[in-house]
Amino acid sequence: MPAEVLRLEDIRKSFNLGTPLETEVLHGIDLMLRRGEFCALIGPSGSGKSTLLNLIGLLDRPTAGRLFIEGHDTRALDDAALTRLRGHSIGFVFQYHHLIGAFTAAENVMMPLLLDRGHPDDTMRSTAEDLLDRVGLLPWKESRVGNLSGGQQQRVAIARALAMNPALVLADEPTGNLDTRSADGVFALMREVNRTHGTAFLIVTHDPRLARRCDRIVEVVDGRIVTNEAVVHSAAEEA
């Protein structure tokens, strides 16, 4: 069986701890992703999806429960170790790409590598160019991202998310700010990366059409997982 990339065991999250306003927003979440899975995370606004994604992305800590990334029990890690694990194991793609508009496409893709190594080198630039080639943007490597289309910018963001060769990519409404054609292209690119490199994807989306194109749908309602099931694809969809 493929190795586990993510495991959540009875994850709970409360805010305003120790005050009259204390509120638990995640109520015992159990979830596991294996290498190469392509999973949609859906649910209504206020259901706890963003809170859950922040915990999985190691941007916040759960109030209770155990969270494992590639077998590492994150409870045992201090903030510096969490930052290292996040940088090496998790890539992020957001609805609003958070690229640096004054930088070129290649420079944006190099940023995670630069943060990790502390100084630029030829290997770093070569990696960035290889990734831009994978997402079909090598001819635009020296273009400032502020001059690129929305779909192109999101492709740069995907290349940046892959810079450290993460086991897991968290994509928060990655197509929510795009037209249908650009959204389909970005989704197809993520799917290709998933299938050719075994990268696991957890994609938050409000688009049921895109969710049905994933391998599994996890639905969160009121801080609890109410659906966790595989998607059966037709032969035409797989073609």
Does residue 1 have a pLDDT over 50? no
| DSSP code of residue 9 | E
User: Residue holding tokens 């805010």?
Assistant: 15
User: What pLDDT is stored for residue 239 in this prediction?
Assistant: 46
User: What pLDDT is stored for residue 234 in this prediction?
Assistant: 59
User: What pLDDT is stored for residue 219 in this prediction?
Assistant: 96
User: Is the dihedral angle over the CA atoms 176, 178, 181, 187 positive or is it negative?
Assistant: negative
Q: What are the structure tokens assigned to 181, written together?
A: 């054609």
Beta strand residue intervals within the chain, DSSP E: 4-15, 23-34, 38-42, 64-69, 72-73, 90-94, 168-172, 200-204, 216-221, 224-230
3-state secondary structure of 209: helix
Q: Which fold has domain 4-238?
A: Rossmann fold (3.40.50)
Does residue 237 have a pLDDT over 70? no
pLDDT 10s digits, 199-209: 999 999 888 88
Does residue 68 have a pLDDT over 90? yes
User: What pLDDT is stored for residue 62 in this prediction?
Assistant: 96
pTM summary value = 0.89
Q: Which residues pair with 39 in a beta bridge?
A: 202, 216
